[in-house]
Structure 1
Amino acid sequence: MKKWILILLAALLTAGLAACGSDKTNGKAKTVGDSVDYKIIGIDPGAGLMKASAKALKDYGLDDWTLVEGSSAAMTAALKKAYDRKEPIIVTGWTPHWMFSKFDLKYLDDPKGSFGKDETIHTLARNGLKDDLPDAYKILDQFHWTPDDMGVVMNRIEDGDNPEDAAAKWVKKNGDKVAQWTKGANKVSGDKITIGYVAWDSEIASTNVIGKVLTDMGYKVTLRQVEAGPMWTGVADGSLDASVAAWLPSTHADYYKKYKGKFQDLGENLAGTKLGLVVPKYMDIHSIEDLKK
């Protein structure tokens, strides 16, 4: 009896292994597209990153592929789920972002330049802010930090801190940098200021940090989360006083052109950003062109 059980188990194991080694292509290795159902996991439908990703699909002739709309949180949740299981996945990504410190990831090469050159993040101010709130204007104009600085705050938030606490901890530990931002600015007593931002992890970090600095300087600060379009519209029409979340020259190029003259560009507050399609390093692909194979 035992002999027959062993023979049966061996037969079942052999069949199982055969099934694992084959697929609907009758033994042929799956393409990258097959392995991810020809889907790229994206973020908010109005984001410039999504526009660039759609352009990449067109530029590379990826007609069978779908760019899945969602949110930054949904994208990172899908990435974590696939990564934990060592499954293939392709997402829209940007740097700085905490996911690059949590997961071993890589950008796919973009030989056609669909995603453009690396960008910088700029500070915007409404027209008239310099006259109305000169000390806040000075602080915003002098605000500048690095991707590593931003990464510390983003990682704290990802590890469970709320954004206000993560920002406060960074500000407390980096008094020298904060002193550079506030140099020449006077403290005030309850002057109101509203800062707009988009719900990217990077912008949540930067906006909460500058919000904490302004609060410590005596301002009554309101941080308002909006989509990219309303953020630019708000600065242009004066319903927002400022934003430290403008990605230029490509991501927000349309808004910059649309509202030119109706806001002040105070220049970059962070350099070293990047946009593109991102995969785990365990995937054996290196370029967007590999998606056609």
Structure 2
Amino acid sequence: MFKKKFRFLGLAMLLALSVVLTACGSGESDEGSSDGEGSESAASIGEQLEYKITGIEPGAGIMKATNKALEEYESLADWELIESSSAAMAAELQKAIDNEEPIIVTGWTPHWMFSKFDLKYLKDPKGVYGEAENIETFARKGLKADQPSAYKVLDQFKWTPEDMGAVMVNIQEGMKPAKAAAKWVEENSGKVGEWTKGAEKVDGEEVSLAYVAWDSEIASTNVVAKVLEDLGYKVELIQLDAAPMFAAVASGDADGMVAGWLPLTHKDYLEQYGDKMERLGPNLEGAKTGLVVPTYVEADSIEDLK
């Protein structure tokens, strides 16, 4: 009886030991198969996102560049670009980050989302999105003679991504664009003084500014509008898509705009309308566009999305 009990105990101990060893071996195998990556590895991003990139308005230059990227990169062969709006894109980005889920969006800087979230651009080895861009100012032909003070402000308007970012963050946090612009103008009188140097005050003359409803252009256009209002102008803001914005200035339906992204984003519109309006040069340097992901997404390049 004792021998049977001893033999049974020995078998039980061997069985328990084998279970422990199996469990340990299984854990090592799982770690090895992940190659040091988490569950949201670059290889699985496509499946998690159903191979969809969240875009903005269909007419935007960044959308055209992204469609080109879908053709140029083998890693994007199965991907689809989803049209929406800049606001909808930002909302989807917020939702994904709140849930710590992967997402790929068409993004650009300056933009408030880079101040609020930890984001990164996916490297673009083929240069589809180009190098850094400038945001340029345009005026209708004849504005200099008709409204010299407004023309002078537009011509002298120049600021930095940090300046624009301060306005955008206030707007994103709930401040009305006009109020955020007024706050920035009040706090940056020295810079505003450079824009208005030599510009005489007027008494109720009307001037119109076209803009595309990107957070960056909402900020810049409202700031310029506030400066012109302080000079005595009545300013009309005209929200349009990119192509109609260029067309409006070219036709004289709008007096000017400070929202031309070049040399890539609005290249087609410049070629179509550039000779019909005055190009006053960059008002902000160092803008950028591309595919953007939260930093926790384990991909660093567009080529990682195979």
Question: TM-score normalised to the size of structure 1?
Answer: 0.89
Which structure is higher in helix share? 2
2:63 to 50, 63, 66: 50
Tell me the residue number matched to 1:121: 135
Residue segments in structure 2 that go unaligned for 5+ positions in a row: 1-29, 31-38
Counterpart CA distance in 2 for 1:31 and 1:220 is 54
Tell me the residue number matched to 1:256: 270
Asked whether 1:144 is paired with 2:147, we answer: no
Tell me the residue number matched to 1:218: 232
Tell me the residue number matched to 1:111: 125
**Cα offset for 1:259?**
1.3
Aligned AA (2:158): H
**Cα offset for 1:260?**
2.5
**Cα offset for 1:117?**
1.4
1:130 to 134, 139, 144: 144
1:35 to 24, 48, 59: 48
2:297 to 268, 271, 283: 283
Structure 1 stretches (4+) deviating beyond 3 angstroms?
A: none
2:285 to 271, 279, 282: 271
Aligned AA (2:124): D
Aligned AA (1:240): A
The Cα offsets for residues 135-177 of structure 1, whole Å up to 9 and x where unpaired, read as 1101110000000000000000000000000000000000000
Counterpart CA distance in 1 for 2:299 and 2:265 is 26
Question: TM-score normalised to the size of structure 2?
Answer: 0.86
Tell me the residue number matched to 1:199: 213
Aligned AA (2:273): Y
User: How large is the RMSD of aligned CA atoms in angstroms?
Assistant: 1.7
**Cα offset for 1:63?**
2.2
Counterpart CA distance in 2 for 1:288 and 1:63 is 11
Matched residue SS, 1:43: coil
Shifted more, 41-50 versus 52-61: the winner is 52-61
Counterpart CA distance in 2 for 1:259 and 1:199 is 20
**Cα offset for 1:127?**
0.4
Please identify the structure whose Cα radius of gyration is greater.
2
Counterpart CA distance in 1 for 2:251 and 2:96 is 43
Matched residue SS, 1:114: coil
Counterpart CA distance in 2 for 1:254 and 1:66 is 23
Counterpart CA distance in 1 for 2:87 and 2:253 is 27
Tell me the residue number matched to 1:13: none
Shifted more, 242-251 versus 61-70: the winner is 61-70
Identity %: 61
Aligned AA (1:48): G
